[in-house]
Amino acid sequence: MTAVEVFVANEQAEREIDCPRWAELARRVLAVEGVRGDAELSVLFVDEAAIAALNERFLEVAGPTDVLAFPIDDDQLVLGRSPDNGGSGPGWETAEGGSAPILIGDIVICPEVAWHNAPSHTGSFDDEIALLLVHGTLHLLGMDHERPDEAEAMEAREQQLLDELFRPQGA
């Protein structure tokens, strides 16, 4: 039997994270986006120092950010929402009966940055984490926001997915 596996690890202590909840949201996004077969996605929740180190190492940008996405099959880092300096995803190809799972990539989220951004961005911490998770997942599946038309399409898809999979009906 083939399955899409989502691994979530909380490697920070500043904010409480419900790992099973976020793993389920990521699985649902992958399913709706057509990911089938043996595939794996990792989501790491880290502190500001850890994400700042990744930001500096891979983007040469000082300081923490809210989300970074690392596709496995691409040597280029795919950026998250902030800072928006570019990057492009590898696209998605489903597994064709292969023996090893397709490694989609890693999403790294900083809950502390999300906590600070939430009041002026999405309103709540949970809404912000959900947006960052969906955003990072879409990057790994090939969406981008370098050009205005790409940004508009990506933001629209994020909202569709959040409305369908995360937000309560009628809210």
CATH number at residue 69: 3.40.390.30
> What's the predicted TM-score (pTM) here?
0.83
Q: Which domain holds residue 159?
A: 4-165
* Lowest model confidence (mean pLDDT) among 44-53, 69-78, 88-97, 154-163: 88-97
Is residue 112 in some structural domain?
Answer: yes
Is residue 170 in some structural domain?
Answer: no
Region 71-83 average pLDDT: 50
Is residue 171 in some structural domain?
Answer: no
The three-state secondary structure class of 114 is helix
Is residue 87 in some structural domain?
Answer: yes
pLDDT at position 97 over 60:
no
pLDDT at position 169 over 80:
no
Is residue 146 in some structural domain?
Answer: yes
**Amino acid letter, 117:** N
- What integer pLDDT is reported at residue 72 of this predicted model? 84
Report how many domains make up the chain. Answer: 1
pLDDT at position 33 over 80:
yes
- Answer for the pair 84, 145: CB distance below 8 angstroms, yes or no: yes
- How far out from the chain centre does Cα 165 lie? 15
Contacts (Cβ under 8 Å, ≥6 apart) of 24: 6
